[in-house]
Amino acid sequence: NNSGQEEIVLCKSMSDNAELVQRTVAFVRKELEGNDASHDFAHIERVWALARTLAKAEKVKEPELVEIGALLHDIRDWKYSGSETAGAEVAGDFLRSCGVESWKVDAILQIIERVSFRKELGGTSTEGKSEFVYEAELNCVQDADRLDALGAIGIARTFSFGGRMSRPMLRPELESEPVFPTTESEIEDKIVILTQEEYMQKTHNDSSVYHFYEKLLRLRHMMKTETGRKMAQHRHEFMVTFLKQFFLEYQGIV
């Protein structure tokens, strides 16, 4: 079965610079060594593939920006490095060392800096910044990253990261009523809108299930591409089904 090889070739075919893609893959793979399964290189591969799918559907003008942005978007992530600027700084140094044109470096760094959910809280992904020429390319990377936070993969990543951080699955004593929602509407009524500071500090409720309320269940309405919105809806519905079953099992009912 050579489907894996075919997939790699397909990914690379979007870029005119196969050598840059190969060097970026090797660089990112090395950077993410030791990360847990929520933010490992397999996550990058999935986002890379999703971003390619979205870029083709959206007919973006600069697919290479999408590919390289998708590959680099999680290096030195603040959750692991403790720095909000290290990722872009390291990515910029890497791209310049590869001889990438300055306009491409600038565009890719803007994608990296704007892609995250936390940056969008309160409008901080665009606040104080001029209009971004490559908004369509950014949207593809952002939607791809968010799709990987949804559905079955999103559930698995949430509990993987929760395990890494020694977080409980659920904190019933900190939950608003109903603690164990039974319907989709009850689940979605528990969605919370946090400030960027509240989201980063995690002083409110650090359980893995709470992460669905603070982020994951919000994402379907934050997608920027039409294809992304359609894919997000299916994955959202799967998460709601999972949560209903989770709450029943947590109580020992089924």
**Average confidence score pLDDT of the chain:** 87
Dump pLDDT digits (tens) for 39-51: 999 999 999 999 9
Sign, Cα dihedral of 109, 70, 198, 121: positive
| Res 202: pLDDT | 66
pLDDT above 80 (res 247): yes
| Helix (H), strand (E) at residue 89 | helix 86-97
Confidence of residue 4 (pLDDT cuts 50, 70, 90): very low
Rounded Cα distance between 55 and 62, Å, is 9
Residue 152 · residue 238 · CB < 8 Å: yes
Give pTM, 2 decimals: 0.87
Residue 114 · residue 132 · CB < 8 Å: yes
Residue 163 · residue 155 · CB < 8 Å: no
Dump pLDDT digits (tens) for 75-100: 988 777 666 778 889 999 999 999 99
| Res 155: pLDDT | 98
Dump pLDDT digits (tens) for 231-246: 999 999 999 999 999 9
Sign, Cα dihedral of 24, 41, 103, 141: positive
The position carrying tokens 């310049």 is: 96
Dump pLDDT digits (tens) for 157-177: 999 999 999 999 999 999 999
Buried b (16+ CB within 10 A) or exposed e, 3-42: eeeeebeebbebbebeebbeebbebbeebbeebeebbbbe
Task: Determine how many CB atoms are found less than 10 A away from the CB of residue 201.
Answer: 11
Record the tokens describing residue 15, joined without a space: 């870029």
Rounded Cα distance between 135 and 113, Å, is 13
Rounded Cα distance between 57 and 140, Å, is 10
Answer with the residue of higher pLDDT: 201 or 25.
25
